Chain A
Amino acid sequence: MNQEQILSILYEMAMVMGAETRVEPLLNKTLQKLMYHTGFPCGVFISISQETTSESLEEDTCINVIVETVIGNHRLRNRIGETMCLPKEFVYGKAELIENNPRIPSICGETADYQYLLKLPVGEENAFLLLSPSPPRNDLPFTQLFEPLLKNFAKTLQLCQINESYTARLVEEREHAYSDLRRFRAALDTTDDCIFIIDPRHMKFIDFNQSAVKALGYRAKQLLTMGPQDVMDELSLPQWRTIINRALNDKKEITEIITSHKQNDGDTYPVEVRLSAFKKNHQPLLIAVSRDITIRKKAEDELKAYKEHLQELIAERTRELEASNRELESYSYSIAHDLRAPLRSIVGFTQIILEDASHKLDDTELNYLNKTIGAGKRMGTLIDEILELARLSRIPITTQKVNLSTLASEVIDTLKTNDSQRCVSVVVESGLEAEADPQLVRLCIENLLGNSWKYTKRRPQAIIEVGLYRADTPNTFYVKDNGAGFDMQYVDKLFLPFHRLHNDSEFEGTGVGLATVQRIIERHGGSIWAEAEVGKGATFYFTLQSGPNNGSLPNPISVSG
């Protein structure tokens, strides 16, 4: 063959080999081409085996090979993958034609009558072996053609092996990813929520889960021709475009809307739709998760109706309680009022007896009568205070600016006048002002200062302070003394009518004063609380108008209610 013919065949073979990317077709096509070009009817591709057998060990001239592929001999085809022992000269060395070797026929078994072996080694590890019963009709161009061809094949084989290994890894990774995707898809199909992928350019669904198909009653093919504006048609197409544009622009946010699903049969049900944007191959898409809120909506409606009903019930109950309170107050007032006349008679007639018949009575009897008069008077005072407390609940309030400093000083002056023996140090902060009913607030101050005066009577250095509490509470006033104080565990009983924390023998009183103070404070929309320590004194804080900071005082003790 001339150079042009050889180059032409090399070109053809290079094109055949270069077209393959996998090992098996590369082997088959190359082997078939070699058989075509040589006319040899049988071709084998072998690789050197690393295993040794007794046969290969016994014969130093032999080597084990693995039969990788076979064309043309149906018996040898059955041995693909098997190991066979061949003379080394059949495998190693240069490309050459071997003939008259008794081992040649045995390669394919006893029935084959191959006499000619064309050895074409591929690197150090592989070889093509072509077998024929007849010699080639012409000389074969070993050096010029087969050697470069086999070198080229060795490189191509290596590339195909690398490619297959790389492809196998890619396939495995892809299978892994598909498996994850299938699981994810199954999870999506299992959820009750309808999930849609929306193409915002065409306003069409491009994917959805099984729940969407089931819930809406459309066939999957139909749904692929539809968009959100078709199955959630409470919102028009322009409205949907606006919503979707917003969702696309709010890249990190989830847009939520409440609308309804329209099913294929025309029925609707309420849904909450959460939209979020993502990109696939640089194309912006939206995922819409649509949740059936029929049950939630029903519960909300029921709760709303219940709340409305509850408010009505509360208002009605309040009205009933107010009426009942009014009746009770009226009844209390009547009872108290009615008790005053017989009480006056008891006290009056007892005094008459004491005045007219005292000479007839012994000391014990006189003592009884004096006690009766004293008790009657105390009862009278009590009835008066009850009547006053009742009155306070009913009289209208007329507020104006009241100077509490002046008011407190006047009350102190009166107390000092009535009890001139006492030595009390009184400090009244000047300029204390409040919007209040002057008469009621005077009563309130009289009670508080009266208590301080009373409970400091055993102090040789009694101190009473009136001032503005200056923490974070600009409208909170206080009355403080260093008197008997009280145990804070009973503080919740402090403002209850007729409840007293001290004995009459220690400090006289009716137990109505602080209840009266609280009633006045509450009627001004304020609140009152106290801090005290037994033997060290007490401080009463109060506000006259409810303010935002009333509840944030240090350790406030609410007495309201």
Chain B
Amino acid sequence: MDSSTAVYCSTYNESELHNILARWNADSSHAGVLALVAEADKNVIPQLQNLFNRQSTPLIGAFFPELLIKGQLTSNGFTIMKIGSSPNSIIREHISDSEECMDDTVGSIAEICEHNNSADNKNTLVLIIDAMVPKIASLLEKLYLRLGDAVNYMGINCGSESFKPMPCIFDNKQFVQDAVLAFTIPNEQGAILEHGYHMPNKMIAATSTSNNCIVSINWRPAFEVYSEMVFSQYGVKVTKENFYENAVHFPFGIVRADGEVLVRIPVSLQDDGSLFCVGEVPENSVLALLKAEDADSSTTVEHIVKHFAAQAPQTLLTFYCAGRRMHMGDNAASELSALQQKLNSTNIVGALSLGEIGSSTKDGYPLFHNATLVCTAWGS
């Protein structure tokens, strides 16, 4: 691993960390650190906070289901990543409690972006959001209305793949849930996102939704229609008990006029028969039931490689959707290996994410997705 910008630690070793921080501080006196922690080792977070506070080094981070190291997934340890200068960051909690809370959050995030922007260099705004926060797409829409193309956008959802509420975002002092961590990094290229799903022919309408929940499809209870469609088309019986394991293979696609789809993985079945997705589903959205084989792995990798081929970065911060990993199974590892091989000189680090923000084209309209890979160059 390129130890000048990112270091993976399988266990907490204070002296080793001390040495790394000393080296980074020597290079850049106000270096801050982004920490990506594997859910299995989230207990290390208080130790990291303690150490970084003693070192007077700014720390921000979150935990994820698994980590991505050199194009391979691992369920233990943590990765620390050097941010060149003191990170311009903010953590805001309870962002979806009310319109006012969301507007305040948008205002605070916009301020750090506008404060840190320069005419010459465009920054990338990175959003790490607790996966249990509803209305993430609305937050993104409001941010884009305010900031527009003043920044590039990249974002991921963190937390547990169990989709149970728990603290997952931290800085030097806080370790919180139902929150968003926002920070900017100098990055001209922005982020690129890809999923490889194709739009099927048969459409259905989300006739009633509530934030992340699809309540009814074609004016009937959502789960009833969903399970019927999965069974009739693929012969798979989806029940409450096997819901997540099966549903990741049959996500919804929100249809767009340009022929692209926005993937929404239903991750849990609610008591009232509605389907809880990671990410909002606007009412009257046109949905499609995506086929498992629609996820075209080779196209996905090619698209990303093409974006970074011209100027391959030393480190590529990469997030891979946990739902996609579950759907792809062993192919997920192959997909990541293929990406690492094609960007041979690049150190691919990151984590499994529970939702992703980005655009499939450079400077494109950012959206909140599921089941994607999202990548951005890290460091100079």
> Across the two chains, which residue of chain A brings its CB closest to B200?
A5
Given A2-B201, A138-B260, are A39 and B361 also a contact pair (CB < 8 Å)? yes
**A46-60 contact mask (Cβ, 8 Å, vs B): 1 or 0:** 000000000000000
Q: Do A12 and B285 touch across chains, with their CB atoms under 8 A apart? A: yes
Please provide the chain A residues from 57 to 102 with a CB less than 8 Å away from any CB of chain B in the complex.
70-74, 77
> Across the two chains, which residue of chain A brings its CB closest to B203?
A8
* A265–B255 CA distance with the chains assembled, in angstroms: 73
A165 near B: Cβ within 8 Å? no
Minimum distance in angstroms from B233 CB to a CB of chain A: 16
B44 near A: Cβ within 8 Å? no
Given A11-B284, A41-B365, are A28 and B145 also a contact pair (CB < 8 Å)? yes
Minimum distance in angstroms from A149 CB to a CB of chain B: 9
> Across the two chains, which residue of chain A brings its CB closest to B150?
A74
A1 near B: Cβ within 8 Å? yes
> Across the two chains, which residue of chain A brings its CB closest to B117?
A74
Given A12-B284, A140-B257, are A134 and B205 also a contact pair (CB < 8 Å)? no
Q: Do A38 and B360 touch across chains, with their CB atoms under 8 A apart? A: no
Please provide the chain B residues from 138 to 172 with a CB less than 8 Å away from any CB of chain A in the complex.
141, 144-145, 147-150
Which listed residue (B286, B361, B363) contacts A12, Cβ 8 A? B286
Q: Do B205 and A42 touch across chains, with their CB atoms under 8 A apart? A: no
* A38–B367 CA distance with the chains assembled, in angstroms: 12
Q: Do A35 and B365 touch across chains, with their CB atoms under 8 A apart? A: yes
B199 near A: Cβ within 8 Å? yes
Q: Do B258 and A16 touch across chains, with their CB atoms under 8 A apart? A: no
Minimum distance in angstroms from A69 CB to a CB of chain B: 10
Which listed residue (A7, A73, A134) contacts B148, Cβ 8 A? A73
* A270–B200 CA distance with the chains assembled, in angstroms: 86
Minimum distance in angstroms from B344 CB to a CB of chain A: 26
List chain A residues, Cβ under 8 A from B285: 12
Q: Do B362 and A71 touch across chains, with their CB atoms under 8 A apart? A: no
> Across the two chains, which residue of chain A brings its CB closest to B114?
A74
Instruction: Name which of A8, A11, A141 has the most chain B CB atoms within 10 A of its CB.
Output: A8
Minimum distance in angstroms from B284 CB to a CB of chain A: 4
Given A12-B205, A73-B148, A73-B149, are A32 and B141 also a contact pair (CB < 8 Å)? yes
List chain A residues, Cβ under 8 A from B360: 39, 137
* A40–B286 CA distance with the chains assembled, in angstroms: 20
List chain A residues, Cβ under 8 A from B145: 28, 32, 71
Minimum distance in angstroms from B254 CB to a CB of chain A: 9
Which listed residue (B147, B260, B284, B366) contacts A137, Cβ 8 A? B260
* A35–B258 CA distance with the chains assembled, in angstroms: 10
Please report the total number of A residues contacting B with Cβ < 8 Å.
Answer: 39
**B176-209 contact mask (Cβ, 8 Å, vs A): 1 or 0:** 0000000000000000000000010111010000
Given A12-B205, A37-B256, are A42 and B284 also a contact pair (CB < 8 Å)? no
Q: Do A132 and B364 touch across chains, with their CB atoms under 8 A apart? A: yes
**B251-287 contact mask (Cβ, 8 Å, vs A): 1 or 0:** 0000111111000000000000000000000111110
Q: Do B260 and A39 touch across chains, with their CB atoms under 8 A apart? A: yes
Minimum distance in angstroms from B330 CB to a CB of chain A: 29
* A555–B379 CA distance with the chains assembled, in angstroms: 125
Minimum distance in angstroms from A426 CB to a CB of chain B: 116
Q: Do A42 and B148 touch across chains, with their CB atoms under 8 A apart? A: yes
Q: Do B286 and A5 touch across chains, with their CB atoms under 8 A apart? A: yes
List chain B residues, Cβ under 8 A from A39: 256, 258, 260, 359-361, 364-365
Q: Do B286 and A38 touch across chains, with their CB atoms under 8 A apart? A: no
In the assembled complex, 23 residue pairs joining A and B whose CB atoms fall closer than 8 Å, in A order, are A8-B203, A8-B205, A11-B205, A12-B286, A15-B284, A32-B141, A35-B365, A36-B365, A38-B257, A38-B258, A39-B364, A39-B365, A41-B365, A41-B366, A42-B149, A74-B147, A74-B148, A113-B363, A132-B364, A134-B364, A138-B259, A138-B260, A145-B257
A-B contacts besides A9-B256, A141-B257, 10 pairs, CB < 8 Å = A8-B255, A36-B365, A39-B365, A41-B149, A41-B365, A70-B148, A71-B145, A71-B148, A113-B363, A140-B257
What 10 pairs between A and B have smallest CB-CB spacing? A138-B259, A37-B257, A8-B286, A15-B284, A8-B203, A134-B361, A74-B148, A72-B148, A74-B150, A41-B365
